[in-house]
Amino acid sequence: MSGKPPPDEALHIQDLHITVHDGAAVAVRGITLTVGAGEIVGLVGESGSGKTLACRAALGVLPAGCAVSEGTISFGGQDVTDLSRRGWERLYGTAVGAVFQDPASYLNPNLTVGGQLAEVLRVKQRMARADAHRKTVELFAAVGLHDPERVFHQIPAELSGGMLQRVMIAIAISCDPRLLIADEATTALDVTIQAEIIELLKDLRDQRNLAVLFVSHDLALIRELCDRVVVFYAGEAVETGPVEEIIDRPRHPYTQALLRVASVGDFQRRELRVIPGQPPQMGEDVVGCRFAGRCPAAIDACRSGPIDLLRLGPGHQARCVRAGDPELEAAAEAELAAR
Amino acid sequence: MSRRPLIGQRSWLRLPSARIALVILAVVIFLSVFGSALAPQNPLTINANALFQGPSAHHLLGTDYLGRDVLSRLMAGTRLSVLTAFEAVAIGLVLGAPLGVATVFLGKWFDFAVNRVSDALMTLPYIFFAVAVTAALGNGLVQAMSAVGILLAPGFFRVTRAATLEFASAQYVEAAELLGATKGHVIRVHVVRKVLPTIAVTTAMAAAGALLAVSFFTFLGIGVTPPAPTWGGVLSSDLDYLSQAPWAPFIPGALIAVTVGALNALADAFRDRIGPGALPLPDPVIKTHSTLTTSHPEAADVRQTAA
Amino acid sequence: MTAATTDPATTGPTQPPLLSLEGVDVVLGRGWRANHVLSEVDLKIWPGEIVGLVGETGSGKTTLARTVVGLIRPRKGRVTFHGAQISGLGRTARRRERRSGHVQLVFQDPLRSLDPDLTVAQIVGEGLKIRGGLDRAEIERRAASALAKVGLDPTLLHRTPGQISGGQRQRVSIARALAVDPELLFCDEPVSALDASNRNYILRLLGELRDNLGLPIVIISHDLSSLAGIADRVVVLYRGRIVEDGPVAQVFTAPRHPYTALLMASAPSVQHDRPLTVHQLRRTAADPAAPSAAGACVFAARCPFAVDACAVQPALEPVAEAGADRWSAACHRADEWQPLARERAAQAAR
């Protein structure tokens, strides 16, 4: 890619391939996505679908044996694909922040949470102790913690899971990064707290023009929060597009299957659907579409060769040869109407 | 129902250090049984004409201050040294390990009492205790090593108890209790096989320590009735005549060191490969992404359901 | 304060309940650390129904399950099964009760509740082995049969938990409970760690157990949407108290307790509209201060509709609704708060 990227682009991933087991298998193939400032992009898929690996690549923390074999990752124009450890350390917190699933395991249990955030500020922004304390209390208030001055002096064991996750978010945004990556950040939280954290993320986006990459296995949650979504399956992006459109008119059979099993939310008694079969093993070589084995609509063309992303509309693409097929569309719509 | 071997992991055998250690220990054990019979000469035969001879065809390791064949003395001496060391370990194991398991299940007063006794024993220095026991019960290596055995017991006890505590509070034990299991069932089915690796490590380490203790006692002359050969005894007399035969102490010294080293290597191999911390499943307390599972109805399932 | 229980003579079937908790109080810890985990819990479970027990972390739902199976002793009140008391038993009586297999508990995390050194056959057959009286072959046969009930092939019998997948482990855990032919099953968060497809599979499986075996099941969850598909009844716990208890269809159409409504509004959904949003059900700074003295309603501090009367903890009262049997809610304003909620702003002021 040459030329300057749009000034408000926080993250751009181009044709990313990640290999695992020291290059023995390709776990992620050809992922391309962009997150602009103030945008919330969701990555949805089962575990093993590659979404977490893609996130880790974007944070420079791929596990041992894994490596980016092709493609580029850039933050606001700066290519970080082959960045050194030193380079990444400069970016952490200032260009990108991250929150993960179990906040308690990312905090030192013996130190106050305020102290841990203040330490980040003192180290990364060379703040004086008093300033760091003040900013910490401000940040705690910004993430919705009641009585932030009191929370400053508490240790993780005294705080609930929801409060700890707010602390983690505060740490992640403390140095004003342009991008926040949240990997299953609400999975371990109660549903009421999850709803509050989702709102917090939306507020942060509105107030700070923060770009958010939100990873989840729960399509309903993605729908609540995200503007756009990338559906991952077996290491590939099988559908991308605006979230409302993908929910209303999913074009890829896997997205349709995800919708079938997702929580509808009207609490009616209905038949519980499942997705039969199993995804291919990580890195397994499959000729043609990787979902064909489980797809109710698969035809011969699906298994003959690699499937490209089909453009279906502005910003909406699907990796399915039958994506534009009117028969399939009609059947899908009928099914949605019946629910 | 299939029974899997209790200490069944073969991976510790793959370590070269463990293999070498096993070979060394196999030789030592073999010698402790057959050493006297296989010794080329009588270890007690005195030959005043052949004092302090160096290695030769007739005496492969030379002779000592009384002209006795060193190799034969060491081979014959293996039995006393090794067997009494194992005796001490056995006493420590039999006294300590079952109590370690029992105190976890038999209530807090029993636990308290046994712990205090164990604490008291651990304060005793083993040499003085051994001397006291031999003074009371007669000067024999067996008695001295029994004393060592008693003092090894607290070590077995504490280690076994710690390991048992870890497993006794596991959720699968709770699940068994919910099915109406007795404590005996829980111990038999769930706890024993899990503490065996810990006991194995402790046994190997205790054996090394006991062997050193034996060598030390026989070196000091505790519990030894001359002229019976022992490794420590040979070492001691060699040191007495160091000026005449400066090479001599290295031989029994090397023998002791190699055997103790082999036992330690074995203990290390156990600890690395089969001790706690080498269990196959990930630590269930740490939440990882793998708590989210997407295993689908699979081929092994009886019913396939369609979306 | 006494809790009025719904009278089965005037509502619902005339069968006596299978399991009954009467005035159960559970306190964990002592002295100043004492934590009243459950307070005045009255709950009945009838045969053949699936009951969803819902609450946040700390609501006491796991404690309730552990109290029913005798792992915790209630400080007050009792638990009865077929009318006979099963709480506060001595060790031998408790062991006998457990061997009878009346009530079984399926734990939340199969990684922790399955012994990693045993085979599936040994795990599933453990209850039968403890009970005694059967030879090895028969135990293995029954273990295979229990596996079949949860849709697992007998080839799994000789594998260890580490060799099977997470979803299969969860089913093995259920099979272990089924192998002793229980009359009531408690499942502690059986699907919380699973993705949507696996979650539905397990829930469907539990529904089939109810349909085919008439087995009543209590499913503990923190998420209402997982229960909507198969539960007959839902019981909502908040900080150790039951705040609502009623038939799923009716409760989910028009909940009587604001906390139930908040849970429903918080659940993510792919559908576009909601009857009430979370903003309408959450307290804001603009709301008048809620009564907070000891003895006040446990939910008052979070409730936007709290009034002075809420200084007294409401008892679980039957809900007056045509066609609704055995529905109760613990709220002084159970029939009043809904229009107030609708009037509140549907979105937070920004």
Q: Is the pLDDT of residue B283 over 50?
A: no
- The CATH classification number of C19-251 equals 3.40.50.300
Residue to substitute from C111, C122, C163, C170, interface B, most B β-carbons within 10 A: C111
pLDDT of residue C55: 92
Q: Is pLDDT at B65 greater than 60 in this prediction?
A: yes
Q: Does C156 touch chain B (CB under 8 A)?
A: yes
Measure in Å the smallest separation between the Cα of A248 and chain C Cα atoms.
Answer: 9
Count structural domains, chain B.
1
Establish, for the pair of chains A and B, how many residue pairs have beta carbons separated by less than 8 Å: 43
Residues 270-299 on B with a CB inside 8 Å of A are: 286-287, 289-290, 292-298
Confidence class of residue B81 from pLDDT cuts 50, 70 and 90? confident
pLDDT in tens, B131-180: 888 888 887 778 888 888 999 999 999 999 999 998 888 999 999 999 99
In the predicted model, is pLDDT for residue B7 greater than 80?
A: no
Residues of A in Cβ contact (< 8 Å) with B292: 47, 184, 187, 217
The pTM of this model reads 0.82
Contacts of B295 in chain A (CB under 8 A): 278
Residue of A192, A193, A196, A221 to mutate for C, most C C-beta atoms under 10 A: A192
| Among A266, A335, A339, the residue to mutate for chain C (most C Cβ within 10 A) | A266
Q: Please state, in angstroms and rounded to a whole number, the distance separating the CA atoms of residues B191 and A136.
A: 48
Closest partner residue to B280 among C116, C136, C165, by Cβ? C116
Which residues of chain C lie closer than 8 angstroms to B281, CB-CB?
111, 116, 161-162
Is A101 an 8 Å CB contact of chain B?
yes
**If DSSP states are collapsed to H, E and C, what string results for chain A?**
CCCCCCCCEEEEEEEEEEEECCCCEEEEEEEEEEEECCCEEEEECCCCCCHHHHHHHHHCCCCCCCEEEEEEEEECCEECCCCCHHHHHHHECCCEEEECCCHHHHCCCCCCHHHHHHHHHHHHHCCCHHHHHHHHHHHHHHCCCCCHHHHHCCCHHHCCHHHHHHHHHHHHHCCCCCEEEEECCCCCCCHHHHHHHHHHHHHHHHHHCCEEEEEECCHHHHHHHCCEEEEEECCEEEEEEEHHHHHHCCCCHHHHHHHHHCCCCCCCCCCCCCCCCCCCCCCCCCCCCCCHHHCCCCCHHHHCCCCCCEEEECCEEECCCCCCCHHHHHHHHHHHHHC
Contact between A264 and C274 using a beta-carbon 8 Å cutoff = no
Q: Quick check: C196 contacting A, CB < 8 Å?
A: yes
Please give the structure tokens belonging to residue C326. 């055995």
In a domain, B189, yes or no: yes
Compute the nearest-CA separation of C201 from chain A (Å): 6
Give mean pLDDT in consecutive 10-residue pieces for chain C, a chain of 350 residues.
38 75 91 87 93 92 93 92 89 89 90 91 93 90 93 90 86 94 93 83 92 93 81 94 92 92 90 83 85 87 90 87 81 90 76
Interface of B with C (CB under 8 A): 1-2, 4, 170-172, 174-182, 185, 189-190, 193-194, 279-282, 284, 290-298, 300-303, 305
Domain ranges in chain A are: 250-339
pLDDT for residue A130: 94
Interchain pair C69, B175: CB under 8 A: no
pLDDT above 70: residue B276: no
Answer whether B293 sits within 8 Å of A187, measured CB to CB: no
User: Per the domain annotation, does B93 fall within a domain?
Assistant: yes
Range of the domain at B238: 16-42+59-291
| CATH at B216 | 1.10.3720.10
Contact list in A for residue C275 (CB cut-off 8 A) is none
Residue B142, pLDDT score: 80
Nearest CB partner across the interface for A192, out of C201, C203, C263: C263
DSSP sequence for C140-178: HHHHHHHHHHTTB-GGGGG--GGGS-HHHHHHHHHHHHH
Q: How far is C148 from chain B (nearest CA, A)?
A: 7
Sheet holding A316-318, edge to edge: A96-99, A179-183, A211-216, A40-44, A228-233, A236-242, A316-318, A310-313
- pLDDT reading at B94 higher than 90: yes
pLDDT tens-digit profile, chain A (339 residues): 445 556 678 999 999 999 988 888 899 999 999 999 999 999 999 877 889 899 999 999 988 889 999 999 999 888 999 889 999 998 998 999 999 998 999 999 999 999 999 999 999 999 999 999 999 999 999 999 999 999 999 999 999 999 999 999 999 999 999 999 999 999 888 899 999 999 999 999 999 999 999 999 889 999 999 999 999 999 999 999 999 999 888 889 999 999 888 877 677 777 788 888 878 877 788 888 888 888 888 888 888 888 888 888 888 999 988 887 777 777 777 776 666
Check A269 against C248: CB less than 8 A apart: yes
Answer whether residue B294 shows pLDDT above 70: no
Q: Mark yes or no for CB contact C224/A191 under 8 Å.
A: yes
Q: Give which of A164, A198, A258, A267 to mutate to test C binding, by max C Cβ within 10 Å.
A: A267
Nearest CA in chain B to A187: B292
Q: Hey, which chains touch B, using 3+ CB pairs under 8 Å?
A: A, C
The ipTM is 0.87
* Domain positions in chain C: 19-251, 254-343
